[in-house]
């Protein structure tokens, strides 16, 4: 499948950040004992606002890059730059939804109160791996290795978010 490299970058970046950011918000909110409904509200509002900001920021960055390249080379770039912003936003929201699925299920009455955080971790890990594996469609290589790379990057970020939240909770509460 052929896509412009900036679209591939936008999709991977948006998905990875959407997953981790949403997981961090959900984990932090759940960690201080907020209800599933509050976790879902915070998660969705953050996901949409952060995804929109990232999409618009990506678009602004593409405009800046285009202007810089045209100024340096004199060549025009006819790409539809808005596509990278949309790709970032959509990838962020779609992938970022998965860490919230267990909290939505709990809110809707699923008897998973004792395992909701564990299920969110599992959903986050699976989607990180799938995003990494899906990169293989565009960049080639080994799908398993690509999945592990993105899972590793996301896991480090998630662990930092979790432990920083834990330390701050101990200091504040």
49-79: pLDDT as tens digits: 999 999 999 999 888 988 898 888 888 877 7
Q: How many CA atoms lie within 13 A of 21 on its CB side?
A: 25
- pTM, full prediction: 0.83
Cα separation, 77 vs 67, whole angstroms? 9
Q: How many CA atoms lie within 13 A of 22 on its CB side?
A: 35
Q: Which of 4, 99, 133, 130 is nearest to 58 (CA)?
A: 4
Cα separation, 140 vs 109, whole angstroms? 42
If residue 108 lies in a helix (H) or strand (E), which one and from where to where?
Answer: none
71-110: pLDDT as tens digits: 888 888 777 788 889 999 999 999 999 999 999 999 898 8
Cα separation, 18 vs 90, whole angstroms? 10
Cα separation, 20 vs 165, whole angstroms? 14
Cα separation, 120 vs 126, whole angstroms? 10
């Amino acid at each position: 499948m052929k896509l412009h490299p900036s679209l591939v970058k936008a999709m991977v970046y948006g998905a990875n950040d959407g997953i981790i950011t949403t997981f961090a918000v959900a984990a932090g909110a759940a960690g201080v004992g907020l209800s599933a409904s509050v976790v879902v509200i915070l998660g969705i509002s953050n996901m949409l606002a952060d995804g929109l900001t990232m999409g618009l920021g990506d678009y602004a960055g593409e405009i800046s890059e285009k202007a810089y390249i045209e100024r340096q080379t004199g060549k025009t770039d006819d790409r539809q730059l808005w596509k990278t912003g949309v790709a970032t936003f959509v990838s962020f929201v779609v992938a970022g939804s998965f860490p919230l699925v267990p909290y939505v299920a709990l809110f809707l009455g699923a008897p998973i109160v004792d395992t909701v955080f564990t299920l969110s971790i599992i959903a986050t890990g699976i989607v990180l791996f799938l995003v990494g594996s899906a990169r293989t469609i565009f960049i080639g290589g080994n799908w398993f290795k690509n999945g592990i790379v993105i899972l590793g990057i996301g896991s480090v970020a998630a662990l930092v978010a979790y432990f920083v939240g834990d330390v701050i909770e101990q200091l504040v509460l």
